[in-house]
Amino acid sequence: MLTGNLLWVLVGAILLGIAAGLNGTFAFLQKQSLVGDAAAHAALPGIAIAYLIFQQKDLPILMLGAAITSALAVYMIQWIVGHSKLKADAAIGFVLSVFFGIGIVLLTIVNQTGAGNQSGLNDFIFGKAATMAKSDLVWLSSSALLIILMCLLFFKEWKLMIFDPVFAKGIGLPVERLRVLLTALTVLTIVTGIQAVGIILMSAMLIIPAAAARFWSNHLGIILVTSAFFGALSGALGTIVSSFRTGLSTGPIIVLCAASLFLISYFFAPTRGLISKSLKKKAFKQRNVAKEATNHE
């Protein structure tokens, strides 16, 4: 059953999982997880505008439109936080909902134009990985490969930028430009994935594997590898499970696979998992009690 298109979908989902896992870890460590959510929602107006201007649904054009509005949303969040007393969470929530609202206005207009009804733009909201065309999958895979490559290339610089920005600036790294590059890459990841898993669940691909991987280690390298592995595994499992039955959308299943991996990590991870932590606490208490007892003797 793993023939033709499904094989391509599987490859695409795995590569997307790795890319989102790597990129999501950096966003997670910068405490910017929800910015990704806003950027994903903000892709919708871009897709609609690109379609309205060019009247065709070639993936690269739609992706370009999505990238522009996503980047604009991220920039707007930073602008609002920088120039008013509003906190980040309010700015994110505001930008997210307004951009998505504008997106829906434009989508309604697209659906009213003659050919727009068949344009399939609605698929972008929930994704349609299983029925993607092969040319789109090639785009998805090459874009994901590019993201993975960039993450490996800038690993050291980003690591320094995240954990010690002052030192990074001191040794002459262009910290601001590195930050912009990371944001740009996050936007690219989102834009790459939205056709497959959909706008609303794309942010899950960025957040959940990274959050799960955090429970397994305190070393950035290991967290990155674990997160990429979780992303790939949930991409693969989600694609296979959703191919068993028609009518199951791939996006939600991929996210639920990632969520299961998160739950396993949350409870059973050896270093920071809940069970190992409570065991350690118990052992610590017992040791103290024993020590107290010997002290009293």
Partner 1 sequence: MNEFWVLLTGSLVGITCGLTGVFLILRKTAMIADAISHTVLFGIVVAFMITQSLSGYWMLIGAAIAGLLTTFLVQVLQSGGLQEDAAIGVVFTSLFALGVLFITLFAGNVHLDVEHVLMGEIAFVPWDTWDVFGFSMPKAVWMLLFVLLLNVLFLVFFYKEIKLSTFDPVFALSIGLPILAMHYSYMTLVSLTTVAAFDSVGAVLVVAMLIGPAATAYLMSKSVSGMIVWSMTFGVTAAITGYYLAKLWNTSIAGMMAAMIGVIFMLVFLFKPHDGWIWKTFKRMKLQKTNIQANS
How many CB atoms within 10 Å of residue 243? 18
> In the chain, where do the E strands start and end?
none
Single-letter residue type at 57: K
Least separation in angstroms between residue 153's CB and partner 1 is 25
Which residue in 20, 34, 71, 72 binds partner 1 (CB under 8 A)?
34
Least separation in angstroms between residue 49's CB and partner 1 is 13
- DSSP one-letter string for 104-140: HHHHHHHHHSTGGGGS-TTHHHH--GGG--HHHHHHH
Least separation in angstroms between residue 37's CB and partner 1 is 6
Q: Is residue 259 near partner 1 by the rule CB under 8 A?
A: yes
By CB under 8 A, the residues from 197 to 236 that bind partner 1 are: 200-201, 203-204, 207-208, 210-211, 214-215
CA atoms within 13 A on the CB side of 190: 39
Which residue in 11, 19, 20, 32 binds partner 1 (CB under 8 A)?
32
Q: Is residue 178 near partner 1 by the rule CB under 8 A?
A: no
**Cα separation, 224 vs 25, whole angstroms:** 6
Least separation in angstroms between residue 73's CB and partner 1 is 11
Q: Is residue 279 near partner 1 by the rule CB under 8 A?
A: no
By CB under 8 A, the residues from 91 to 120 that bind partner 1 are: 91-94, 96-105, 107-109, 112
Single-letter residue type at 70: S
Tokens found for residue 92: 């994110």
- Give the C-alpha distances (Å, rounded to integers) separating 260 from 60, 263, 292: 33, 5, 42
Region of 3-11, 136-144, 224-232, 270-278 interacting with partner 1 (CB under 8 A): 270-278
Least separation in angstroms between residue 172's CB and partner 1 is 29
**Do 198 and 18 touch, CB atoms closer than 8 A?**
no
In whole angstroms, how large is the CA radius of gyration of the chain?
Answer: 22
The residue ranges that bind partner 1 (CB under 8 A) are 28, 31-34, 37, 80, 83-87, 89-94, 96-105, 107-109, 112, 122, 125-126, 200-201, 203-204, 207-208, 210-211, 214-215, 247-249, 251-253, 255-256, 258-259, 262, 266, 272, 274, 277
